[in-house]
Amino acid sequence: MGQLIGNQGSPTTPGIQAMDLSERDFLRFSRLVHEQAGINLHQGKKELLRARLAKRIRELGFESFSRYYHHVVTDDTGEELVQMLDCIATNLTRFFREEAHFEFLEELVYPEFRQAVKVEKREPVLRIWSAACSTGEEPYSIAMHAMDRLSAKVHVLATDISTRALQKASEGIYPSNRLSEIPPRMQNRFFLKGHGPREGFVRVRPEIRSCVTFRRHNLMEPPPVQREMDVIFCRNVLIYFDRATQKHVVENICQVLRPGGYLFVGHAESLNGAVPQLRYVRPAVYRKP
């Protein structure tokens, strides 16, 4: 374990702004992050890495990036590795992001589901995995959309590598101005308005929160469940991986995508035939034959 020092500002502690992230330390951190989470931190991300880790180093009182690195790799509990990845993870999302995917659910996925249930080819439960769910806007959007358009049970598994993001997601509390993408009818149906000290905030109603299960998961690892999923959302995360890691991640998650199921990726992402078990349907939408 790295040597701990006094609080920030003590005579023996260098200011974090003056603390340099050497090329050697940058390469060690970037290699560790790639090995553990698949995230590709190229040279252009050096300052971002320094800035993201600075606050954590200050909190723990380490005198250098090198000592903090030693602390991370010698922590047998693995807890500091989780904290470090939390610092690096980018949690950028919003409700009903990439509207075309929700239109696709309504136009194709829901009718196929209804028909299969009608002829008793499957159980009447739609199962969706929101991988890299960030602070919960995506899985809650999925649950709200399905409940609004589909008279059937929907179970959403929501996973992320960031424990901080998952904590916020599980609470389901957001500033009111985050609902701008949601029609007023759905806002009234699916959110509770805060009063008093909660003025200006809303909370996702219990019936929607009960549809979503949050769980920490690293996309480099095998799926966290064995049950097959009808749809998997893995959007705007593959761009952080190199090509080989993208292939590994997609092959991983597709282990639990049922035959005929759909994978949604971000509109800035493309698999380009890298995963042969998936068939291209339209931009950012793939299907498992």
Average per-residue pLDDT in the chain?
A: 87
Give the per-residue pLDDT at 16.
45
Give the per-residue pLDDT at 149.
94
Query: When comparing pLDDT for 144 and 89, which is higher?
Result: 144
16-88 sits in which CATH class?
A: mainly alpha
52 annotated active-site: yes
CA distance 141 to 123: 23
51-106 pLDDT, tens digit per residue, is 889 888 988 888 889 999 999 989 888 788 878 887 877 666 889 999 999 999 99
Give the per-residue pLDDT at 51.
86
DSSP conformational letter for 10: S
Return the amino acid letter for 21: L
- Residue 250: closest CA among 228, 283, 273, 268: 273
The helix/strand count (H/E) of the chain reads as 11, 10
**Taking 70 as the threshold, does the pLDDT of residue 211 lie above it?**
yes
Question: Domain-by-domain residue ranges, the chain?
Answer: 16-88, 99-287
Torsion of CA 132, 134, 136, 137, to 10 degrees: -100
Spatial strand order in the sheet of 229-233: 212-216, 153-160, 125-131, 229-233, 257-264, 285-287, 279-282
Query: When comparing pLDDT for 243 and 16, which is higher?
Result: 243
Give the per-residue pLDDT at 46.
87
Lowest mean pLDDT across 43-52, 111-120, 151-160, 197-206: 43-52
Give the per-residue pLDDT at 173.
96
**Taking 60 as the threshold, does the pLDDT of residue 8 lie above it?**
no
203 annotated active-site: no
Torsion of CA 244, 245, 246, 251, to 10 degrees: 90
CB 88, CB 56: distance < 8 Å: no
145-189 pLDDT, tens digit per residue, is 999 999 889 999 999 988 889 999 999 999 999 898 898 999 999
265-289 pLDDT, tens digit per residue, is 998 888 877 788 899 999 999 999 9
| CATH homologous superfamily, domain 99-287 | Vaccinia Virus protein VP39 (3.40.50.150)
Of the candidates 160, 209, 230, 235, the residue annotated as catalytic is 160
Give the per-residue pLDDT at 92.
66
Give the per-residue pLDDT at 90.
64
Return the amino acid letter for 218: N
Query: When comparing pLDDT for 76 and 249, which is higher?
Result: 249
Give the per-residue pLDDT at 284.
93
Query: Could you tell me which residues are beta bridge partners of residue 233?
Result: 130, 264
Residue 177: CB atoms within 10 Å: 9
Instruction: Using alpha carbons, list the distances in angstroms from residue 63 to 10, 53, 85.
Output: 11, 13, 20
> Span 206-214, mean pLDDT?
97
Lowest mean pLDDT across 13-22, 211-220, 222-231: 13-22
CA distance 94 to 134: 10
